[in-house]
Structures are given as C-alpha cells and as structure tokens.
C-alpha cells in the first residue's frame, strides 16, 4: 500500500546528534509532523517528493540567545533571516513585554512561515538598570526590581503575558534574585541569567538557575581572591547607586575581570563545574560576542556580504560600524578574556556541563541567522565535537523547554522542523552553512524560496 503524505524527502542521510547517521532514508511529512522514516517506502502519487540523494537532513536549528527588539531597524528582517538559515526556533533573552507581544503574535499566527519563539520578557535588573534606554547600545530591554514584592508582581505579569522563561540580570541584589527564582519555581518557569555581581556563581546556581549566558562572571568566582573580589563588588554596587547601570557594570568588569582571569584557582573552578553539572545549569557561551574582537568578522568580505540581507539603511550603518571596528585595535585584555571563554567550553563540557548555541544577534554586527552557523564553528574551534555542536543547537535547546519528546530530533511523530544540507556537518561543521532547503512545521522552503527571504528584505522595509 502506498503511503500518502504532504511531502517526502527521499534517499537522504538523516543526522541526529544522538546516533550514527542513517543513510538512504525516506522521510515522510504530513501536516506539521514527521510521520514515517524508513527505506523502501511506497510513496503515494499525491505526495510532493524532494530528492535527497547526496544530501543530509538535520533537525531544525535553534539560536538560543536572540534579542528581537534590540534594534528596531533590524527587527523586521529577523524572522526571515532565521528561516532562510535553517533556524526554525529561537529563544529571545530580553525585550519589553509590549514590544515582544506583537512579534509573538506574528510568529504564532503563522507557524509554518516564522520561527518558533520562546521568550523571556525584559531583563530583570536591580536598583540600577543596565539596559535602560539611555543610548543606542543600551536600548530599554531591562526593568529594575528593588523589592521581593515587586519581584512577585513582575513575574506574575510576565506569566500572564505568556513568557516561557525569565531572565535575571547582573545588578540584582541577592534577596531579590532569590525571590525571583523561588517564584519562578512555583510557576514552573526556567530562569536564565548573568550571575548577579552581588553574588557568586555557586550560590546563583544553587538557587535554581537553569542556564547562564556568556559564562558571565564565572571568572570572578573562580579567582584565588574570589571572596575579596565579591566584597569589593558589593561595596562598589552600594556606592554606585547614582551611576547609570551600564557605566557601573562596565567599571566593575574593568576593575575585576582580567585580574580574575589571570588568577584562576583550579580547585575553585573544578568545584564550580561540579555544581553547574549537578544542578544542570546549562551554559550558552555566545562565543561570537565573547570572541568578537578575536574573530574580527568585520574584516571578512564574506561576512560583510551577509549585510546585504538587511535593509539598505541598516546595511549602511553596519558597514560604517564594521569600518570603524576594522580600524580599532583589540586590547590584550579583550583577547585574553576571549581565550578564557574559549577554554571554558571544553573544560565544562568535559565535566558534563551542557553547552548550548546562542549568538546575541543582532548585537556586535552578528547578522541574524548567519551568526548561528558561525557560533557552531566557534564551538568546534573551542573543542566541542561536531556532533556536540549540532546537539547544542538542536536537542539540547529542546530539552531546556522539556520539548525533547517532539522537537530537536528527526524521529517519527516529531514536529517537522528540518534542514537539508549539501554536505555532511559531522565531517566539517561549516557544512551547516550549505543550506539547500528548510522545513518549518511541515512547510518546505526550497533554495529559491530561501533566497527570496534573503533578498526580499530590502524591498519590504524601505
Ligand atoms: Zn543577550
């Protein structure tokens, strides 16, 4: 009996990061689900067939650290750039409710056309707020919370708005931070964050933190003089209440970061790794940001070409920024910190701390969509296997949201989010960039449709 479906991809190599590749497979899709995977399947006449010979099928990718509302000039391009790059799910890690809601509505209104969006709402910050809207590099994506009562009010408001997680930020005081985590646990919401400057990473993780972004402030807790650094930080925070949040945070980082990186206590770092692994506080290293000046993507012609998919006005601004970055020298401290972040990837992965792939796009000229593929390369350069890098952008993110039973793998019954590649990503992770087709919630985008998504931007926006 022939099997009728909406779409069949034939003769393709199926790559799940959890098992060895399956060659010469046929994958059948009906509605938004994978209904059958196997060989010698008799396909019905009404099924659209895509020949997958010499191609590779991977689960739809996630970018696990995105800011849809960071730059309003870029916002309208982002969904298309994600889909065109095979990123079928994203996690937004900071944006105001009222700015996020229309975007969530848009994505949920047409799931076959837009990526799946999990979102955190604003950065929950302290008495001073880092992202307070004071300038183009500090858009208003944070809110200040200065009492446990306000923490509850805010979390309840966010829950009512439909957020999927919370994001605790750097200027939070310990008792407010702990209140947020307690309320989040009541509500069953994961909490991601930066370790607050007023805390150490062990107590932040022990309070129930689900994930940490950019390895932020790990070095300060792993330094030989960690206790002294923490005391100093608390004094600086108390003294700096009248200083703008971004300036205060920056000066603390400048005072403590490199000193800490140069004085890592290996026993303390071992202990931190153990706590993160035990608590399953997963890590999103965002090497694209941490190593931005080391990678200097702005010097690469190929990277500048990705700006062509942005609106004309954005492209002009980004090219000008790229130009000024090309003319500025990276400081030794900056490169030292980047190397430290790189070293943590393998160190923590070897100690069973999960690593997930996120970019922080559109910050620092990280073009939406394209930048996730770069992040995968960076993770492999930092010592992850190709397979683990692929897991970092597929099954690991699904697990984070407890969706591993229907997303993140190519399996019968799973949601049909997949990417067709022209070459094997397990041989070279940069092959994820060779996107030949994308399937989102069962809808197939061939290469010409993906090109249209990349090309249409300019027309649509200006
Ligand atoms: Zn971010």
Instruction: Indicate which CATH number applies to the domain containing 377.
Output: 3.20.20.140
Q: Transcribe 153-214 into DSSP letters.
A: HHHHHHHHHT-S-EEE-TT--HHHHHHHHHHHHHHT--EEEPPPTTS-HHHHHHTT--EEET
- Residue 99 is assigned to a structural domain of this protein: yes
C-alpha of residue 290 to centroid of ligand 1, in Å: 11
Are the beta carbons of 379 and 345 closer than 8 angstroms? yes
Closest C-alpha among 170, 264, 184 to residue 224: 264
- Residue 51 is assigned to a structural domain of this protein: no
C-alpha of residue 168 to centroid of ligand 1, in Å: 11
d(CA 195, CA 216) in angstroms, rounded, equals: 6
User: What pLDDT does residue 137 have?
Assistant: 84
d(CA 37, CA 427) in angstroms, rounded, equals: 23
- Residue 179 is assigned to a structural domain of this protein: yes
C-alpha of residue 67 to centroid of ligand 1, in Å: 6
Other CB atoms within 10 A of residue 295 CB: 19
User: What pLDDT does residue 461 have?
Assistant: 34
Question: In this structure, what are the phi and psi dihedrals at residue 3, rounded to the nearest 5 degrees?
Answer: -105, 125
Domain with 76, as residue range(s), is: 60-401
SS (H, E, C) 222-274: HECCHHHHHHHHHHHHHHCCCCCHHHHHHHHHHHHHHHHHCCECHHHHHHHHH
What's the CA dihedral at 370, 376, 379, 383 to 10 degrees? -140
- Residue 427 is assigned to a structural domain of this protein: no
**pLDDT tens for residues 60-74?**
999 999 999 999 999
C-alpha of residue 107 to centroid of ligand 1, in Å: 20
**pLDDT tens for residues 366-399?**
999 999 999 999 999 999 999 999 999 999 999 9
Give the three-class secondary structure for 337. Answer: helix
Are the beta carbons of 372 and 85 closer than 8 angstroms? yes
Q: For the whole prediction, is pTM greater than 0.95?
A: yes
Question: In this structure, what are the phi and psi dihedrals at residue 156, rounded to the nearest 5 degrees?
Answer: -65, -35
Give the three-class secondary structure for 138. Answer: strand
C-alpha of residue 56 to centroid of ligand 1, in Å: 31
Spatial strand order of the sheet with 123-125 comes to 142-144, 123-125, 166-168, 191-193, 211-213, 282-284
- Residue 320 is assigned to a structural domain of this protein: yes
Cis preceding linkage at 362, omega within 30: yes
- Residue 450 is assigned to a structural domain of this protein: no
Q: Which residues surround ligand 1, an ion (CB under 5 A)?
A: 93, 360
Distance of CA 426 to the CA centre of its chain: 21
DSSP 70: S
Spatial strand order of the sheet with 87-92 comes to 61-66, 87-92, 116-119
d(CA 171, CA 234) in angstroms, rounded, equals: 10
C-alpha of residue 171 to centroid of ligand 1, in Å: 15
C-alpha of residue 291 to centroid of ligand 1, in Å: 15
C-alpha of residue 403 to centroid of ligand 1, in Å: 23
User: What pLDDT does residue 456 have?
Assistant: 57
- Residue 113 is assigned to a structural domain of this protein: yes
Residue 36 C-beta-side C-alpha neighbours within 13 Å: 19
pLDDT along the chain (462 residues), means of 10: 96 97 98 97 96 98 98 96 98 98 98 98 96 90 95 98 98 97 97 97 98 98 98 97 94 96 98 98 98 97 96 96 96 97 98 98 98 98 98 98 98 98 98 98 97 70 34
C-alpha of residue 367 to centroid of ligand 1, in Å: 14
CA separation, residue 222 to residues 166, 172, 252, 289, 348 (Å): 26, 20, 16, 21, 13
- Residue 267 is assigned to a structural domain of this protein: yes
- How many distinct structural domains can be found in the chain? 1
């Amino acid at each position: 009996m022939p099997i009728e479906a909406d779409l069949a991809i034939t003769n393709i190599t199926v790559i799940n990061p959890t098992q060895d590749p399956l060659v010469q497979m046929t994958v059948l899709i009906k509605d938004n689900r994978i209904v059958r995977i196997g060989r010698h399947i008799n396909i019905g006449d009404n099924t659209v067939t895509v020949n997958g010979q010499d191609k590779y099928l991977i689960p739809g990718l996630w970018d696990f650290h995105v800011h849809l509302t960071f730059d309003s000039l870029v916002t309208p391009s982002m969904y298309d750039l994600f889909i065109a790059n095979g990123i079928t799910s994203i996690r937004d890690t900071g944006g105001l409710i009222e700015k996020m809601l229309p975007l969530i509505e848009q994505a949920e209104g047409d799931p076959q056309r837009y990526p799946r969006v999990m979102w955190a709402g604003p950065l929950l910050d302290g008495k001073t707020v880092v992202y307070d809207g004071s300038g183009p590099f500090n858009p208003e994506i944070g809110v200040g919370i200065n009492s446990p009562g306000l923490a509850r009010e805010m979390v309840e408001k966010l829950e009512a708005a439909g957020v999927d997680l919370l994001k605790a930020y750097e200027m939070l005081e310990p008792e407010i931070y702990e209140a947020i985590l307690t309320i989040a646990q009541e509500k069953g919401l994961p909490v991601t964050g930066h370790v607050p400057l007023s805390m150490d990473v062990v107590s932040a993780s022990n309070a129930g933190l689900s994930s940490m972004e950019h390895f932020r402030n790990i070095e300060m807790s792993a330094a030989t003089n960690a206790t002294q650094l923490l005391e100093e930080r608390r004094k600086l925070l108390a003294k700096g209440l009248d200083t703008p949040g971004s300036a205060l945070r920056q000066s603390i980082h400048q005072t403590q970061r490199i000193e800490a990186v140069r004085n890592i206590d290996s026993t303390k770092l071992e202990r931190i790794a153990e706590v993160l692994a035990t608590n399953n506080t997963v890590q999103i290293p965002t090497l694209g940001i941490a190593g931005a000046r080391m990678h200097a993507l702005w010097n690469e012609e190929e990277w500048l070409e990705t700006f062509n998919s942005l609106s004309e006005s954005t492209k002009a601004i980004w090219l000008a920024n790229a130009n000024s970055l090309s003319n500025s020298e990276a400081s030794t401290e900056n490169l030292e910190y980047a190397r430290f972040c790189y070293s943590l990837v393998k160190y923590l992965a070897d100690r069973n701390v999960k690593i997930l792939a996120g970019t922080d796009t559109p910050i620092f000229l990280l073009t939406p969509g394209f930048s996730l593929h770069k992040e995968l390369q960076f993770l492999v350069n930092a010592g992850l296997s190709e397979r683990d890098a692929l897991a970092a952008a597929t099954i690991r993110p699904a697990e984070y949201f407890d969706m591993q039973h229907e997303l993140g793998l190519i399996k019968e019954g799973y949601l049909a989010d997949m990417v067709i590649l022209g070459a094997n990503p397990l041989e070279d992770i940069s092959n994820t960039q060779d996107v030949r087709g994308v399937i989102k919630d069962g809808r197939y985008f061939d290469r010409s449709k993906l090109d249209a998504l990349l090309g249409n931007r300019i027309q649509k926006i200006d």
